[in-house]
Amino acid sequence: MNRKYLIGLLSAATLGYSILPTYSSKLYQHFHRPVNSHTLYLTFDDGPDPRYTPALLDLLAEYNIKASFFVLAQSAQHHPELITRMKREGHVIGLHSLCHKNGMLQPPVSAFRDFQQAVNIMQRLGVPVRYFRPPWGHWNIISLTQLHRYGMTPVLWDVMAQDWRGDFPAKTIEKRLLRRTQGGDIICLHDGRGENEAPARTIAALQRVLPRWISEGYQFETVNHYEI
């Protein structure tokens, strides 16, 4: 087979499998976001983590803020007590895949198997998952098909502060959140994974940012109240 033809064929397959689903989803959310809103939607990915999630839940409870947690099903399976606490305290629990594999790089069979396993775990934990956020925001045809099969709503984000990075102090995360956020934004942060105990710095940044946002009149809602 001609080498150029093969490269073109692989490029077209990749485009249809993941690139088009990923970027069309991002464009859709960008052009269908709430306007003139004074509401913020705090969301947290990659947990639950027994080192950081309890401290984050304590902080949210201090300000009576409800958030949305997009959990990794394997982590949820290992820490069901944290899932129970999230439910008890009124937070929304969404799915962030089984174990954080990149949808652009995951073969179809693996993507299908992992999605099924993740849903089964959450069902056993008593969580009827209605919302899904793919790792890195990368969709593929399989994840979109499964999403619709289970009646889930896709949720991406408007604001990210790169808080998973190991070289970002809390002050940098704080500045990015304050500079980038406006009313109606879905804010993506992390209570698990990350480098060099990154979630601890995220919590430290929020300890300063939350009272600032509250003083500016912002209110907080979970993604089930997000209207487009």
Residue 11: both structure tokens together = 């490029």
> Exposure pattern of 141-160 as b/e (b: 16+ CB <10 Å)?
ebbbebbeebebebbbbbbb
91 is catalytic: no
CA 218 to chain centre: 21
Active site residue 190: yes
Which residue in 91, 96, 138, 190 is the catalytic one? 190
CA dihedral of residues 99, 54, 197, 218 (deg, nearest 10)? 100
Name which of 195, 177, 194 is nearest 186 in CA terms: 177
The active-site residue out of 45, 114, 158, 191 is 45
Whose tokens are 């984050």? That residue is 56
56: nearest Cα among 223, 191, 166: 191
Question: CB of 77 within 8 A of CB of 109?
Answer: no
Question: Residue holding tokens 């992992």?
Answer: 114
Computed from CA positions of residues 193, 160, 141, 71, in that sequence, does the dihedral angle turn out positive or negative? positive
Residues with catalytic function: 45, 190
